[in-house]
A = this chain, B = another copy of it.
Amino acid sequence: MFQTFTQSSEPDQGPARLAALRARLAEQHLDGVLVPRTDRWQGEYVAPCDERLAWLTGFTGSAGFAVILHDVAGIFVDGRYRLQVRDQTARDFTPVNWPETKLSDWLIEQLPEGGAIAYDPWLHTAAEIEDLTEKLSGKSIDLCPLPNQIDPLWTDRPARPDAPYFAHPVEFTGETHAAKRARLTADTPKGSWILTLPDSIAWLLNIRGADIPRNPVPQCTAILHADGTVDLFAPAAKVAGLSGHLGDQVTVQDPDAFEDALATLDGPVRIDPRSCPDAIARHLAEGEAEVIEADDPCILPKARKTEVEIAGAQAAHLRDGAAMVRFLAWLDAEAPSGQLTEIRVVEALEEFRRDTGLLRDISFETICGAGAHGAIVHYRVTEATDRPVTPGELLLIDSGGQYLDGTTDITRTVIVGAPKDVHRDRYTRVLRGMIAVSRARFARGVGGQHLDALARMPLWEAGLDFDHGTGHGVGSYLSVHEGPQGISRRSKVALEPGMILSNEPGYYREGAYGIRIENLIVTREAPAVPGGDDRPQLCFETLTHVPLDRRLIDRSQLTGAELRWIDAYHADTLKLIGPQVDGMARDWLVRACAPL
């Protein structure tokens, strides 16, 4: 099993560690220290050796940070983690509602004029520190870039993972790394780009790694030069097998050589301040070279998948869809007994995915919420929270797989036994929002911010809504959350052909149930419409093909177009998935895909 159900938090050890840290700060005449959850690669997952926040506080959420002062230890977490942080941390830590309370405002309130706060400049981005420095300057609070304050105290810190990197061949990417390097540098006569995002380096060099769970990224750093050559800073042992793949345009160097390499660069040196560690910006500021702030050049090209990547995504989704169909058929047979638990469901689903023989990892911890647990948007079942799947309740399952040819992410909500009217009404509204996005055909230039309302209209009409974006970008055998594309009120990037997105509206009734329906979709150039004008338009092609729970669809709420969409989707699903399943699963699929 990839997924585990234990809670790795150690809240009881927090107070002693906190005391040791404070003693260390006092020795250095520091008023406090920032302890972020992120590592130097600014991703969603961190390696066990980088779980500094969890080590200190016990809090294991995927976002947040602590600020340790002498008389208060604030732990800043967002709405998802308000309850969890109280369970996981000792009372010595004071939860702070973030981002409602800004770090700068909190520090200004807590600290005296002229206070001094330590931070590890490798763990914060240049933009973050620039912003914070400016805000704290009014009270002359000093942000001190210092070596990490946790690491010397963490005597049993795990070793850094040592699994080797591996080539991700052109049969999956559709473009060699030589072509990518040439494309990115074609219009730039001189200078270089500092690449610090593992996804970007993985994409650019067609490599993958195993430095963190779930996302097959290599935690390394690189410099892309305007002549198309790359200096890759990665442990020799991890890249030992890659010399043939990387070729002579990519020079591997030890990570320790990175800072010296920065000093040798001619300008302009381009950094993306939203992801580049403050430490790098500082090193560069000390040197001679001109530094330019610019977007990471890999992000947008990576988001526009090649036809080969799209074909891979289609294949991965059919494989994953067949596993989901076997799982849902099994679930429908087993759940009515009332004997299943959330953990058993998660285990079964992972087994069905493993049965494909091609599962490299799950793409994130499966969210499996029965009844009221479904309303906790980021619920992750543990042995402590596990509960039975009970007839008459909704079950929400959000999961995905990492395959060499693609990353999947799917949510299905099913009823165990007979649904209530309110279940059917809410499910149908969520589904209609999902369909509205799926069917959208739109002008070039439109971004996710312009389409988000489509997913909410049927809920808004009934005085309902959901408190998360409608969709996020998805990588190609890379991170399941990938920018810059998205579908939310804040997603400003214009959608472009080849971008893969999730389409996942939901509805959550706290203490009662949760509903979310999620397909992945890929942005395509829209085919011409007979009689239409000659305008460049885009549309979405649905990648995910797994039946929707017909027991939860209120047909009377549907427009003709919505009904036709569902029937066509089910017909396609039967055609595409049918040949891959047999026996009970096939019978289930045929029934599930019948016209409404």
List residues of A whose CB falls within 8 A of some B CB: 422, 439-443, 445-446, 449-454, 456-457, 460-465, 489, 526, 528-529, 531-533, 535, 537, 559-561
Contact = CB atoms under 8 A, between A and B. Distances in A.
A68 to B, nearest CB: 34
B465 A535 contact: yes
Given A451-B453, A560-B559, A446 B489 contact: yes
A277 to B, nearest CB: 31
Nearest to A426: B531
Contact of A533 (B443, B452, B463, B531): B463
Nearest to A443: B465
A443 B464 contact: no
B442 A460 contact: yes
A531 B440 contact: no
Given A450-B453, A454-B453, A456-B443, A531 B462 contact: yes
Nearest to A538: B460
A460 B535 CA distance: 10
A462 B439 CA distance: 12
A431 to B, nearest CB: 16
10 closest pairs, A vs B, by CB?
A463-B532, A463-B529, A559-B559, A441-B460, A450-B453, A442-B460, A462-B529, A462-B532, A464-B533, A441-B461
A529 B429 CA distance: 15
Number of copies: 2
Contact of A489 (B422, B445, B529): B445
A463 B560 contact: no
14 contacts: A442-B453, A445-B489, A450-B452, A451-B453, A453-B453, A454-B457, A460-B537, A462-B531, A463-B533, A463-B535, A465-B533, A465-B535, A465-B537, A559-B561
Given A441-B463, A559-B560, 19 more contacts: A422-B531, A440-B453, A440-B457, A440-B460, A441-B460, A442-B453, A445-B489, A450-B489, A451-B453, A454-B454, A454-B457, A461-B529, A462-B529, A462-B531, A463-B529, A463-B531, A463-B532, A463-B533, A559-B561
Nearest to A560: B559
A561 to B, nearest CB: 8
Contacts of A561: 559
Contacts of A533: 463-465
Contacts of A531: 422, 462-463
A561 B453 CA distance: 18
Contacts of A532: 462-464
A440 B456 CA distance: 10
A117 B268 CA distance: 33
Contact of A449 (B450, B460, B461, B559): B450
